[in-house]
Structure 1
Amino acid sequence: MGQSVDVSEVSPSKVDKFGCRSDWLDKDLAYFAANVSVFRKATCETAIKQIATPGRDRGFVVGVAMLPGHSRRIFHEHSSTTHFFKRDSIYIRNLADPYKADLIGPFDFILLEFTVEALARIAEDADLGRVTSLATRVGSSDRILANLVRALAPAIKKPAQATNLFMDQLTTAIGAHIAQRYGGTRSTLSMRPKGLSRSHERLAKELLLENLDGNIAIMDVARACNLSRGYFIQSFRENTGMTPYQWLLKERVARARMLLLTSDEPLSHVAISCGFADQSHFTRVFTSAVGITPGAVRRNL
């Protein structure tokens, strides 16, 4: 299962892999998922801070600005360039290249670090060409990517409410978008899935229901069906009209509704037995799906 770490509590004065000193930062969180490492780093300080990192073959970092007002001067071999970030501005850089920059003004970024192997695997699973490099971007606009990355923010803050299934699908979707838009790839329409066989659909649903809390990796379900992860997700959607995570969430809500109508179990017990992190998480998801709170369902009965 992915896990969240408050890095500032672990190493109060160390320089992180991106060149930031943790005592600069007001927010320093990390979440480690199957495909990607996700970080959130923020500071309210206005003083200029310089970072410098050597080139290391770690893959790529993709950043999305949560707030406007930040700028940075990036130093090149014989020159420097200054870039301004609006809310949802992105940057992409290859971590194999050395990097030196002045950070000017407050910032709040969500960063995603993909290894070359992970990005290549995501691209191949999505029927895209093999991706081994990405185009560099600094302060660019990509609303689709920004919205996808923003959806990670609650998981970084409250990992107990983020299942492996959800994080796996979301980071895969982010990786596929990055590979297609910035890796110069093209979708292979001839490889479009035609759906799962009846036996594979039944097996996939059984595995998902056996892990009602969602803490099963998509890759494990895909392997059981002898399919790649990306092909499995697309095939499952062909059959059901939903991603595996959406389908499982619907089943969790349906099971919770049945328990509300047929038992006197406390709401907190219903929440846990149906795979929700706690009663608050259960109430929020159930109300969004059904239109009324779990308590109202029971009172109406």
Structure 2
Amino acid sequence: MNAVSAPAMLAVRSDSLGCSATTLKQSQELQGSQFSFYRKRVESREVSQVYTPASDRGFLVGISMAQHHRRSIFRGRQGAQFGFGRGAVYTRDFSEDYRADLQGPFDFLLVELPLSWFATVNDDLRVRKVSGLATVTGQDDPVLAHLAAALAPALALPDTDSQLFVDQLGLAMGTHLLKRYGGAGLPSPVNVRLSRVHEERAKQMLLLKGQDQLSLPEIARECNMSASYFLRAFKATTGHTPHQWLMTQRVEMAREYLRHTTLSLAEIAVACNFYDQSHFSRVFSQIVGSTPGAWRRRLR
């Protein structure tokens, strides 16, 4: 099996991940505080090529969102073929040239982890340091598949979800990747808790920011912690992630408005710092178990 030459691939207009811009049916991108996220989908059954030259960008992890994808990955002129079902993953080191023939349709959610993140997270590790991820191709990973499904709506509508939520999902992915493919030893959550001062400061920041794009690293810096350490400590202390805790506080505020005012649902959504009425109804239903309108009618 012979690979298409790198110059020939470069002659075709491609994106930052080496995908041909002309063949992509869907191309989404979302920038988190620490990671970059992409979704790339092709519907054509024709073979397409990917090529990216070696760089210092770090590592890329791909999670298949669909069934029955095959690709041939080349080292030199020799290629090996791999199959991907839904939830199958691959890891890729950007420090090496990457060439592949993509056979038929595919749909991948991709996570780019920069080298700077590995340097930061090493401060939290209790055993050996981690410089990267082991190379895997086509391996099933139900945890990453679940996290990718949760992240996909934010990629589709990047203006309607918070930086906090995206950061949390990114760190959950990063932590899992370190454990499964980096051999990292992370501190147990039972040994990681916030002091009362740090807990109050974090909650104050969450409540005061309103709809602003508050990032997880921003809060963690106020507590003199890394973002990953802070996320584990906050959840161990409160029982919720920061995003879950903030949404719960907003729903409690909304309940007070529903009980004691005649404001419309749209007005309450604005008053409680939801993005819009649809966002308010969705979050309220997830936490309370009914829509805000139905909950108010039961009160009356």
- TM-score between the two structures when normalised by the length of structure 1: 0.89
Alignment correspondent of 1:141: 140
Measured after TM superposition, the shift of residue 251 of structure 1 is: 0.4
Partner secondary structure for residue 30 of structure 1: strand
Measured after TM superposition, the shift of residue 242 of structure 1 is: 1.4
In structure 2, distance between residues paired with 1:44 and 1:189: 43
Alignment correspondent of 1:153: 152
Do the aligned partners of residues 181 and 214 (structure 1) sit closer, same or farther apart at CA in structure 2, a change above 3 Å counting?
farther
Do the aligned partners of residues 45 and 123 (structure 1) sit closer, same or farther apart at CA in structure 2, a change above 3 Å counting?
farther
Task: Report matched runs for 1:29-68 at 5 Å.
Answer: 29-68=28-67
Partner secondary structure for residue 184 of structure 2: coil
Alignment correspondent of 1:74: 73
Is the 8 Å Cα contact of residues 34 and 117 (structure 2) preserved in structure 1?
Answer: yes
Task: Report matched runs for 1:270-281 at 5 Å.
Answer: 270-281=268-279
Do the aligned partners of residues 78 and 158 (structure 1) sit closer, same or farther apart at CA in structure 2, a change above 3 Å counting?
closer
- The alignment yields a C-alpha RMSD, in angstroms, of 2.0
Instruction: Give 2:209's aligned amino acid.
Output: N
Alignment correspondent of 1:176: 175
Measured after TM superposition, the shift of residue 120 of structure 1 is: 3.5
Residues 19-68 of structure 1: per-residue CA shift (max 9 Å, x gap): 21111011011001111110101011000112222111111110011001
In structure 1, distance between residues paired with 2:76 and 2:183: 27
Do the aligned partners of residues 142 and 128 (structure 1) sit closer, same or farther apart at CA in structure 2, a change above 3 Å counting?
farther
Measured after TM superposition, the shift of residue 161 of structure 1 is: 2.7
In structure 1, distance between residues paired with 2:59 and 2:204: 36
Is the 8 Å Cα contact of residues 166 and 214 (structure 1) preserved in structure 2?
Answer: no
Is the 8 Å Cα contact of residues 125 and 229 (structure 1) preserved in structure 2?
Answer: no
Do the aligned partners of residues 145 and 95 (structure 1) sit closer, same or farther apart at CA in structure 2, a change above 3 Å counting?
same
In structure 1, distance between residues paired with 2:128 and 2:252: 39
Partner secondary structure for residue 233 of structure 1: helix
Residues 55-110 of structure 1: per-residue CA shift (max 9 Å, x gap): 11111110011001110111112521000111111010101111111110100000
Task: Report matched runs for 1:92-241 at 5 Å.
Answer: 92-122=91-121, 124-125=123-124, 129-189=128-188, 192-193=191-192, 195-213=193-211, 215-241=213-239
Measured after TM superposition, the shift of residue 192 of structure 1 is: 2.7
Measured after TM superposition, the shift of residue 143 of structure 1 is: 0.7
Alignment correspondent of 2:296: 298
Partner secondary structure for residue 49 of structure 1: strand
Partner secondary structure for residue 170 of structure 2: helix
In structure 1, distance between residues paired with 2:190 and 2:286: 35
- TM-score between the two structures when normalised by the length of structure 2: 0.90
How many residues align? The count is: 288
In structure 1, distance between residues paired with 2:228 and 2:60: 22
Do the aligned partners of residues 125 and 186 (structure 1) sit closer, same or farther apart at CA in structure 2, a change above 3 Å counting?
closer
In structure 2, distance between residues paired with 1:168 and 1:128: 25
Partner secondary structure for residue 259 of structure 1: helix
Is the 8 Å Cα contact of residues 214 and 248 (structure 1) preserved in structure 2?
Answer: no
In structure 2, distance between residues paired with 1:248 and 1:260: 18
Gaps of 5+ in 1: 1-12
Do the aligned partners of residues 295 and 126 (structure 1) sit closer, same or farther apart at CA in structure 2, a change above 3 Å counting?
farther
Do the aligned partners of residues 284 and 70 (structure 1) sit closer, same or farther apart at CA in structure 2, a change above 3 Å counting?
same
Measured after TM superposition, the shift of residue 124 of structure 1 is: 3.6
Do the aligned partners of residues 271 and 189 (structure 1) sit closer, same or farther apart at CA in structure 2, a change above 3 Å counting?
closer
In structure 1, distance between residues paired with 2:127 and 2:13: 39
Measured after TM superposition, the shift of residue 258 of structure 1 is: 0.9
Partner secondary structure for residue 51 of structure 2: strand
Alignment correspondent of 1:3: none
Q: Aligned residues: percent identity?
A: 40
In structure 2, distance between residues paired with 1:278 and 1:190: 35
Instruction: Give 2:198's aligned amino acid.
Output: H
In structure 2, distance between residues paired with 1:214 and 1:243: 18
